[in-house]
Amino acid sequence: MSTPSARPDKHDHRTLGEQSWAVHGGNRPDHTTGAIRTPIVMANSYLLPDDPTSLDDADPDLLVYTRESGANQLGLQAKLAAMENGEAAAVFGTGMAALHAAFFTLIGPGDHAIVSNVVYGRSQGLFDTLLPAKMGVEVDFVDITDLAAVRAAVRPTTRLVHAETIANPDLRVPDIAALATIAHTAGARLTVDSTFTPPPLARPLSLGADLVIHSLTKYINGHGDAMGGAVIGSRELIDAVKTGALHHIGGAIAPFNAWLIMRGSVTLPLRLRQHCDNASAIAGFLHDDHRVAHVAYPGLPGDPQHARAAAQFSGGYGGVVSFALAGSHEDRVRFVNDLRLITSAVSLGHDETLIAYEQYTGVKAHAFAAPFREHGLIRLAVGLESADDLIADLDAALTATYGRPAATHS
Ligand SMILES: Cc1ncc(COP(=O)(O)O)c(C=O)c1O
């Protein structure tokens, strides 16, 4: 018995159109049963070859033990690598496990990291507390859209620059190619969390990023039911991520979740179009409504992020709209509770629209536009419902708290 080949797929999916790779990428018919979809392989271990000492230990994808590799993981990896124009991918149990694995691989004691001052809260927590305290990493949080500030933060020990393509939650958009140049000139690596802009919206590796990270929990799975994470990049870096962080720290994805995410990802390009169209319509509605104090959406022509977003993204500006409502804290709580179709919950990229009202503190809040600092930030993760129904829901809840719209913005 020899271990099945872990590596290449039947087709090079990079040569296919977006919906073709979404359908075919990483799927392997099951030769035992003839099933045309890869089955869910719920096994902790795989048969060893007749001579176990013949195994190539240098191959991190060997099918031996499911913490390290598995049939469902391999399919998902192949699909994600093709989607992102990467040589290889590593998959994990959550987006945070993937982010941690990337950072753990690239930086160590005494190294310096430049991190966007607006990133997902748990990523911020890694950099402002855990990595400095546990690994002796030094960190500067900077406005990642201000290239002069990024350049000024570089030190001889800088080994990492980290940003999100669209920052959670204030939706700022950095110039990825310019960040890659700054990082590489400094002898550092650029990691980009592209959770808000999965392919085909953005491909950070093609813009010079060294590793791209996804929370698969969001758009790539798309159905709000499974968690996962991925790191994608060169074969050399991904092998290091696997042999170090995945194999030894063990944040493996369950085969069932890998299978669910494979299934969800089949419709990713189609779903993204609806997410983006809906978000764009809702951002326009909120922007034109005087009851709304502030709207951030990179697709709005007047948004300060719009030019960078238009230059880097293809086919839309993502499915998240952030806005601020004036009035009291109680008014905003009432607004959220008056919504009927839209669900108050964290996360994004689900089929249903989710809303989360938060008042932020700390380094991130300090970086926000004034209305978000003053009134808190309401993040709307726009789903796949009809835009008219979502707008009607928002309008009714605004009217219940703030009265009918009196006029429109000019
Ligand atoms: C931008 C971003 N990156 C990473 C994560 C973490 O992903 P997970 O929840 O799958 O660990 C999140 C979660 O909300 C996120 O918004």
Average pLDDT, the chain: 95
pLDDT at residue 7 in the model: 44
Contacts of 270 (CB under 8 A, 6+ apart): 19, 22
Please say if the pLDDT value at position 5 is more than 50: no
User: For tokens 């009918």, what's the residue?
Assistant: 404
pLDDT at residue 11 in the model: 58
- Dihedrals φ, ψ of 148, to 5°? -65, -40
| Listed residue (322, 57, 350, 316) closest to 167, CA to CA | 322
The tokens describing 246, both together, are 């995945």
pLDDT at residue 16 in the model: 81
- Rounded CA-CA distance 77/47 in Å is 21
CATH 3.90.1150.10 fits 268-402, yes or no: yes
Taking the CA of residue 99 as reference, the ligand 1 atom at the shortest distance is 4
Residue pair 84/203 in contact (Cβ under 8 Å)? The answer is yes
Indicate the top mutation candidate among 94, 124, 218 to test ligand 1's pocket, ranked by most ligand atoms within 8 A of CB. Answer: 218
User: For 165-214, what is each residue's pLDDT tens digit?
Assistant: 999 999 999 999 999 999 999 999 999 999 999 999 999 999 999 999 99
Please give the average per-residue pLDDT across 365-379, as a whole number. 96
| pLDDT tier, 133 (very low <50, low <70, confident <90, very high otherwise) | very high
Regarding the domain delimited by 13-265, which CATH topology (the fold level of the hierarchy) does it fall under? Aspartate Aminotransferase; domain 2 (3.40.640)
- Type of residue at 207: L
Q: What is the distance, to the nearest Å, from the Cα of residue 1 to the centroid of all Cα atoms in its chain?
A: 39
Instruction: List 380's β-bridge partners, or say none.
Output: 321, 355
Peptide bond into 371 cis (omega under 30): no
- Rounded CA-CA distance 118/182 in Å is 19
The tokens describing 203, both together, are 């491909």
Residue pair 321/369 in contact (Cβ under 8 Å)? The answer is no
Q: What is the DSSP letter of 58?
A: T
pLDDT at residue 57 in the model: 85
Residue pair 380/320 in contact (Cβ under 8 Å)? The answer is yes
- Answer positive or negative: Cα dihedral of 395, 397, 398, 404: positive
Please give the average per-residue pLDDT across 241-261, as a whole number. 97
Please give the average per-residue pLDDT across 87-112, as a whole number. 98
pLDDT at residue 406 in the model: 74
Please say if the pLDDT value at position 388 is more than 60: yes
197 lines ligand 1 (CB under 6 A): no
Please give the average per-residue pLDDT across 93-103, as a whole number. 98
| Listed residue (58, 124, 95, 109) closest to 212, CA to CA | 95
Radius of gyration of the chain (CA): 22
Q: Is 271 a catalytic residue?
A: no
Residue pair 262/22 in contact (Cβ under 8 Å)? The answer is no
96 lines ligand 1 (CB under 6 A): yes
pLDDT at residue 8 in the model: 43
Provide DSSP, 33-86.
T--SSPPP---SB-PPPSSGGGS-TT-TT-TTBTTT--HHHHHHHHHHHHHTT-
227 lines ligand 1 (CB under 6 A): yes
Please say if the pLDDT value at position 78 is more than 50: yes
Please give the average per-residue pLDDT across 99-104, as a whole number. 98
pLDDT at residue 13 in the model: 63
The model's pTM is 0.96
Atom 7 of ligand 1: nearest residue by CA position: 95
User: For tokens 């929990």, what's the residue?
Assistant: 217
Instruction: List 340's β-bridge partners, or say none.
Output: none
Please say if the pLDDT value at position 129 is more than 80: yes
Please give the average per-residue pLDDT across 20-33, as a whole number. 92
User: For 136-176, what is each residue's pLDDT tens digit?
Assistant: 999 999 999 999 999 999 999 999 999 999 999 999 999 99
Please say if the pLDDT value at position 361 is more than 90: no
pLDDT at residue 70 in the model: 97
Q: Is 120 a catalytic residue?
A: yes
| Lowest mean pLDDT across 2-11, 52-61, 96-105 | 2-11
- Rounded CA-CA distance 191/203 in Å is 12
Q: Is 67 a catalytic residue?
A: yes
Write down the catalytic residue from 193, 210, 289, 393: 193
102 lines ligand 1 (CB under 6 A): no
| pLDDT tier, 48 (very low <50, low <70, confident <90, very high otherwise) | very high
322 lines ligand 1 (CB under 6 A): no
Q: What is the DSSP letter of 192?
A: E
pLDDT at residue 14 in the model: 63
Please give the average per-residue pLDDT across 79-98, as a whole number. 97
| pLDDT tier, 3 (very low <50, low <70, confident <90, very high otherwise) | very low
Share of the chain above pLDDT 70, in %: 96
Atom 16 of ligand 1: nearest residue by CA position: 120
pLDDT at residue 72 in the model: 97
The tokens describing 151, both together, are 């350049």
- Rounded CA-CA distance 112/183 in Å is 12
Instruction: List 192's β-bridge partners, or say none.
Output: 163, 212
Checking 55-58 for CB contacts under 8 A at 24+ apart, the result is 55/3
Please give the average per-residue pLDDT across 11-18, as a whole number. 72
Q: Where do the domains of the chain lie?
A: 13-265, 268-402
164 lines ligand 1 (CB under 6 A): yes
